[in-house]
Amino acid sequence: MERLLACWEEPIEGRADPEADFGALYHDPVTVNGVATPVADLVRRARALQKALEGRRTRIVHCVEAGRAIVVGFTLTGRHVGPFPSALGMVPATGVEITVRATDILTMVDGRVKDIWVISDDLAVLTQMNAVQLTV
The total of structural domains in the chain comes to: 1
In a domain, 33, yes or no: yes
What CATH number does residue 64 fall under?
3.10.450.50
Give the angle subtended at the CA of 72 by the CAs of 93 and 56, to the nearest 5°.
30
Report if pTM > 0.75. Answer: yes
Whether residue 60 is predicted with pLDDT greater than 90 in this model: the reply is yes
**DSSP state for residue 93 in the 8-state scheme:** -
- Residue 134 in domain: no
pLDDT by residue (tens digit) across 95-128?
Answer: 999 999 999 999 999 999 999 999 999 999 999 9
Q: Which structural domain range is residue 56 located in?
A: 2-128
Cα gap 40→67, rounded to integer Å: 28
Give the model's pLDDT for residue 1: 86
